[in-house]
Amino acid sequence: MNNLPFGLPPRAGLGLKTEHFREVLGSQPDIGFFEVHAENYMVAGGPFHHYLGLIREQYPLSLHGVGLSIGAEGPLDSQHLKRLGALIERYQPQSFSEHLAWSSHGPVFLNDLLPLAYDTATLSRVCEHIDHVQSTLKRPMLLENPATYLAFERSTIDEADFISEVIRRTGCGLLLDVNNVYVSSINHQRDPLAYIDALPLHAVGEIHLAGFAEDIDSLGDRLLIDDHGAPIDHAVWTLYQHVLQRTGPIATLIERDNQLPAFSVLHAEAHQADELLLHARGRS
C-alpha cells in the first residue's frame, strides 16, 4: 500500500522524452503519469520548461534525480539540493526519487550510478544524507535499488537488508526497480524472488521496468547491463507480476532512455503494465 502523502496513481507511466513533447500534447494519450530526470530541467527557460509546464497541467508527475549522489563519501551538494527544491516548488510532482548509489566524488561528477560497499559506516552516511534531503525538500523521497556489476569485499550487510534498514531509519519509500533486481541477481548469482521478498514491500511507492543489454564476463557468464535501451525482458515481466501479487497495484514506470522507439511502442508497453495492474486491482 502506498502511504506517501502525494502518491502517484497506481497506473503505468512513461519517461517523458523531449522527442515526444509535441505528440503527447497533441494526442493526449491515456498514460497514468510521466517521469522526468530532474537534472534535464535545471535550465533557466526555453522549450523544456514550456512543454513540461503544459504536460504537468494534464498529468501527474514523478521527478527522478540522477545526480544527487546520495551514497557519496562527502557531503551532499547543497546547490544541487537547492535546484531540486526549486523544481519541486515549480512543478509540485507527486513523487521525488533518487538512487542508492554515488555519482560524484568531491567536485568531480562521474555521470554514472556507482556501487556502494554495504557496511555500517555506509549505512549511517546514506541515512544522514536521506534525512538531509527529506528535511530540506520537506517531503519523503523514494530510494531506488541499484543495478550493479561487482561487489565489495568490505560489504558486511546484504543489499536487501541494507535497503530495509535505510527505509526503517529514514522513513523514505522504496522505488522498486524490477529490472535492476533482475540484472543484479544474474550478475551476483542471487535469487531475485528471495531478494524481493526480503525488501520492505509495504514502502514501495513506485516501480520501474526497463530493458537491459547482455554481455559476458571473463568466465563467459552472462553479465547484464542496465542500459534502458531495449524492450522489457520476459523475465522482468514475470518478476513484476510476482511483485504486484505482494504489493497490489503500484505506479509503474516504463523506462527507456536509449534506442528510443516511436511513442506508440512505449505506449504499448505501458498498456501491458496497465493490464497487469488491473489484474492486481481485481485481486486486492
Partner 1 sequence: MSTQAAFAAALLDPRLNCPEGLFSANGADPASRFAVYRNNVQSSLINALAHSYPVVVQLVGDEFFRAMAGVYLLGNVPQSPLIKDYGHDFADFIQSFEPAGSVPYLADVARLERLRTLAYHAADAQPLNQEQISAALADPQTLSELTVELHPSLNLLTSAFAVVSIWATHQQDATLVGIDLEHGQHALILRNALDVEVFVIEPGASAFVRNLQNGQPLIQAIESAPAFDLSQTLALLISHNAITHLHHNKVSP
Binding site for partner 1 (CB under 8 A): 39-40, 42-50, 66-69, 72-73, 77, 80, 102-105, 107-112, 114-115, 117, 149-154, 187-190, 215, 217-219, 221, 223, 225
Nearest to 283 by CA among 250, 245, 251, 242: 245
Place of cell 495492474: 277
Nearest distance in Å: CB 199, partner 1: 19
Nearer to partner 1, 11 or 83 (CB): 83
Nearer to partner 1, 80 or 208 (CB): 80
The letter for the amino acid at 27 is S
**Residues paired with residue 225 on neighbouring β-strands, in sequence order:** 213
First-residue to last-residue Cα distance in the chain: 10
The letter for the amino acid at 154 is R
Which residues fall within 8 angstroms of residue 67, CB to CB, at 6 or more apart?
38, 39, 80, 103, 104, 109
Nearer to partner 1, 34 or 102 (CB): 102
Nearest to 192 by CA among 159, 155, 152: 159
Element (DSSP H or E) covering residue 96: strand 95-99
Nearest distance in Å: CB 282, partner 1: 38
Nearest distance in Å: CB 69, partner 1: 7
Nearer to partner 1, 99 or 267 (CB): 99
Mapping DSSP to helix (H, G, I), strand (E, B) and coil, where does residue 71 land? coil
Nearest distance in Å: CB 210, partner 1: 15
Nearest distance in Å: CB 158, partner 1: 13
